[in-house]
Amino acid sequence: MHLALSDRPVTNLYDEDAVQQIGIVLALDEKEKSTIQDISQLKVTSNQGTMVPIADLVEVSESISAKSIYRKNQKRVVYVMADMAGELESPAYAILGMEEKLKSISMPEGYSISEMYLGQPDFEDDYTVKWDGEWQITLEVFRDLGIAFLGAIILIYILIVGWFQNFKAPIVMMVAIPLSLIGIILGHWIMGAFFTATSFIGMIALAGIMVRNSVLLIDFINLRTAEGVPLKQAAIEAGAVRTTPILLTAGTVVIGAFVILFDPIFQGWQYH
């Protein structure tokens, strides 16, 4: 009966070319072991050599087994596991829906339910829901990428200040970075893609591209104004002269990244 219920290998399939031998599992169908009645009809060999159902040999009684106590970092926990499937596969939708349900739970006097997304509760004197798993990984990734994005902005500013010897010029050049969000949001909406960690990495790279384009324009404008050309005329000439180099360099990046545009892995999709 133990072999029938545990799906343990009864022997191995030997192959001379295989590094590891393949176990052969002797198991019942799920429908044949799903209830106590099904299991009680399993037959064993008696001393007389006849097949006898287990129900004739044992008496079945139901009882409550001792509960397992789970701990994480020396704190007692109760694990609740689930997975998302269907059109909305992101755990964010499930968590947002459950947050409203948690608020409606009636707790004993003196107790409440708090929620945590990162870290772990310091004490066990109250109830805490700790969102873990894929959701915590997502938060940590976006947190780290946000720090990296901020660091990239600061580094770009320092480099531009060092090149132009001007504290105002970098601000003008970096105005294009928030404007790039228009294309980012519109592109994700058109493609029906989720904003993932890969999207964030692309946004950081795009910030550098936008600033580079601004540097090309403003550098040309500075050269023309130094020659005595009015600012408005210099800006018009910069747009006309620098458009082709900007399109060529930006087009190189677009064409190079186009091959991964429809890749499900880079779009953050998962197949189950």
DSSP 163-187: HH--SSHHHHHHTHHHHHHHHHHHH
Backbone angles phi, psi at 62, to 5 degrees: -95, 140
Helix or strand (DSSP H, E) at 13 = strand 9-13
Domains along the sequence of the chain with CATH: 2-56 (no CATH), 70-131 (no CATH), 135-258 (1.20.1640.10)
CA pseudo-torsion sign 216, 222, 227, 230: positive
Tens-digit pLDDT string for the chain (272 aa): 676 677 777 788 877 777 777 888 877 777 777 777 777 887 878 778 788 888 888 887 888 878 888 888 788 888 888 777 766 666 777 777 787 788 788 888 888 887 777 777 777 777 888 888 777 787 788 888 889 888 888 988 898 888 888 888 888 888 888 888 888 888 888 877 777 777 888 888 888 888 888 888 888 888 888 888 888 898 888 888 888 888 888 888 778 777 776 666 665 544 43
CB atoms within 10 A of CB 197: 14
3-state DSSP assignment of residue 147: helix
